[in-house]
Amino acid sequence: MSHDHSHSHGPGEACAHDHGHDDHNSPEYIQKTIKKYLAVGGILFGGTVLTVAMYYVHIPSVAITIAVALLIATVKAGFVAGVFMHLSDERKMIYGVLICTVFFLIGLMALTIWAMHDQPFQTLIDGKPA
């Protein structure tokens, strides 16, 4: 949504977000974005086809398969979030929230995985100390 620039600001508050381009409400702008949405839809379809195709091709390395599949998924997710959800053109506040979220999510995953793998006292496999 756009700014209502005529709105008077409260004392001591500044306008946090400023954007140069034309009004987001104008029909021309919307028309333009519609084209963008359709293009992104196409990209998403393409990405899906690519992922599935890769599965049938059978890349020998499991690590590469996983990496590529996740990469494609991330790119697709980027398009959905960036364009459909207008994240590419969002307010600072929302970036702040999302950055925190991602940081904590990575913390959760990485630290848990690290903790599960730093268990030097895990011993005794088949009767013999490991």
Residues in 54-83 that interact with another protein by CB under 8 A: 55, 65-66, 69-70, 72-73, 76-77, 80-81
Query: What is the chain's Cα-based Rg?
Result: 23
- Residue 22 CB, shortest distance to another protein, in Å, is 14
The contact pattern for another protein, residues 82-111, with x = CB under 8 A and - = no contact, is --xx-----x-xx--xx-xxx-xx-xxx-x
Q: d(Cα 20, Cα 40) in Å, to the nearest integer?
A: 24
Residue 15 in 3-state DSSP? Answer: coil
Residues within window 2-21 making contact with another protein, judged by CB under 8 A:
2-4, 7-17
Residue 47 in 3-state DSSP? Answer: helix
Q: Which two tokens stand for residue 99?
A: 């950055």
Q: Which of 13, 32, 36, 12 is nearest to 22 (CA)?
A: 32
Work out whether 116 is an interface residue with another protein (CB under 8 A): yes
22 vs 104, which CB is nearer to another protein? 104
